[in-house]
Amino acid sequence: MTAGTEVSTVDTQAYPHEVRAAVLRAVGEPMAVETIRLRAVGPGDVRVRIEQTGVCHSDLSLARGVLAQPLPAVLGHEACGTVVEVGEQVSDVAPGQRVILLWITACGECFHCTHDEPHLCATGSSRAGEPYAVTGAGEPVYPGLTVGSFAEQTVVPRGAVVPVPDDIETADAALLGCAVTTGVGAVTSTAHVTADSSVLVIGLGGVGLSVIQGARLAGASTIIAVDRNTDKAAMATAAGATHFLPADDDTRKAVRGLTGKRGADFAFDCVGSARTIRDMWGMTRRGGSATVVGIGGKDDTVSFSALELFHFARTLRGCVAGSLDAAADMPRFFDWVRSGDLDLRQLVTGSGSLTDVDAALDELAAGRGIRTILRPAGGAR
């Protein structure tokens, strides 16, 4: 079948924008870079050229079937790009402007949005189940986590982008789309870590290292980093950890030894498995705070006895997107980047193009890579 024949099966007025994208067609299978056609820009939409996008552990969960996603899909959600087209009702961003893409688009009208919980918006991630493009043969294509940034371009509502100041570099802005805001937000907006406290962080991916940076910003005096990969010790120290511990049978005893035999005041699980959640719970002091930041599978069940919940009086909570109002809170992150209080470049362990997506996911699965940055459209530095 020729390219011309493929296009003839598609309504090119409804899907006018031809772009290259890494398409996931089956769970666990490699992605193929192919041509898709994006839907036309609606009155309240923006079309964005993806300059740089991070490969996140959530993308791995979608690709491997831990999280559900309609297929075929274009994954990728942590990105910075340049606006190339806006709808007729969009007046506050313009072509040529750089923007961060958001994977939760708050509606502003539901219960959560009107009760200062836009990160829990009832429809904030619904676009992941709505086609936004088609293949050359006319099959619907879905945007992973609503964005679909493993592509040269994407189309999203105006509410799904945040303008980037000229003095913030594109690579830094891309990481603010997920890992950094989630990790730092977990500290500042979910758990509300206090100065001079002890903090435990399990799992040192991009989010975990960002939690460490957030704990440092909050003034925690003891920051304990835990990971199965001991090669991450130097990264943890650079982020602000005061101690690194390998994840093994002696970790719990070591944590207690560093926290007056009580356990950590604040603990964060950035893995999201039943095992690591229980580990985190057991290493949190009585009356302390335990926060689940990592995304686990729906069938991975965690058990607690009724007595221990009463006796330990710990707080166990989940954390979605750092509990942030992204549009309102992003200026604070820009200030931290400007001042050097947030060092985002230490999170980047690789770079590549769309053809390198699967290799980057394999690095995450092996517990080695932190963030591979892809440049789907050539990408500004």
**Per residue in 236-294, pLDDT tens?**
999 999 999 999 999 999 999 999 999 999 999 999 999 999 999 999 999 999 999 99
Q: Is residue 337 one of the residues assigned to a domain?
A: no
Q: Is residue 140 one of the residues assigned to a domain?
A: yes
The reply to whether 154 and 245 lie within a common domain is no
Q: Is residue 332 one of the residues assigned to a domain?
A: no
The reply to whether 312 and 204 lie within a common domain is yes
The reply to whether 72 and 209 lie within a common domain is no
The reply to whether 44 and 169 lie within a common domain is yes
The reply to whether 150 and 259 lie within a common domain is no
Domain that holds residue 227: 184-320
The reply to whether 57 and 125 lie within a common domain is yes
State the total domains in the chain.
Answer: 2
The reply to whether 124 and 189 lie within a common domain is no
The reply to whether 119 and 194 lie within a common domain is no
Q: Is residue 233 one of the residues assigned to a domain?
A: yes
One digit per residue, pLDDT tens: the chain, 381 residues?
A: 344 444 446 788 899 999 999 999 999 899 999 999 999 999 999 999 999 999 998 999 999 988 889 999 999 999 999 999 999 999 999 999 999 999 999 999 999 999 999 999 999 999 999 999 999 899 999 999 999 999 999 999 999 999 999 999 999 999 999 999 999 999 999 999 999 999 999 999 999 999 999 999 999 999 999 999 999 999 999 999 999 999 999 999 999 999 999 999 999 999 999 999 999 999 999 999 999 999 988 889 999 999 999 999 999 999 999 999 988 999 999 999 999 999 998 899 899 999 999 999 999 888 888 899 999 986 443
Domain final residue, candidates 304, 320, 336? 320
The reply to whether 250 and 131 lie within a common domain is no
Q: Is residue 336 one of the residues assigned to a domain?
A: no
Residue 315 belongs to domain with CATH number: 3.40.50.720
Residue 150 belongs to domain with CATH number: 3.90.180.10
pLDDT at 292: 97
Q: Is residue 28 one of the residues assigned to a domain?
A: yes
Q: Is residue 328 one of the residues assigned to a domain?
A: no
Q: pLDDT, tens digit, for every residue of 147-184?
A: 999 999 999 999 999 999 999 999 999 999 999 999 99
For the chain, the three-class secondary structure string (H helix, E strand, C coil) is: CCHHHHHHCCCCCCCCEEEEEEEECCCCCCCEEEEEEECCCCCCEEEEEEEEEECCHHHHHHHCCCCCCCCCEECCCEEEEEEEEECCCCCCCCCCCEEEECCCCCCCCCCCHHHCCHHHCCCCCHHHHCCCEEECCCCEEEEHHHCCCCECEEEEEHHHEEECCCCCCHHHHHHCCCHHHHHHHHHHHHHCCCCCCEEEEECCCHHHHHHHHHHHHHCCCEEEEEECCHHHHHHHHHHCCCEEEECCCCHHHHHHHHCCCCCEEEEEECCCCHHHHHHHHHCEEEEEEEEECCCCCCCCCCCCCHHHHHHHCCEEEECCHHHCCHHHHHHHHHHHHHHCCCCCHHHEEEEECHHHHHHHHHHHHCCCCCEEEECCCCCCC
The reply to whether 366 and 308 lie within a common domain is no
Q: Is residue 276 one of the residues assigned to a domain?
A: yes
The reply to whether 351 and 271 lie within a common domain is no
The reply to whether 106 and 203 lie within a common domain is no
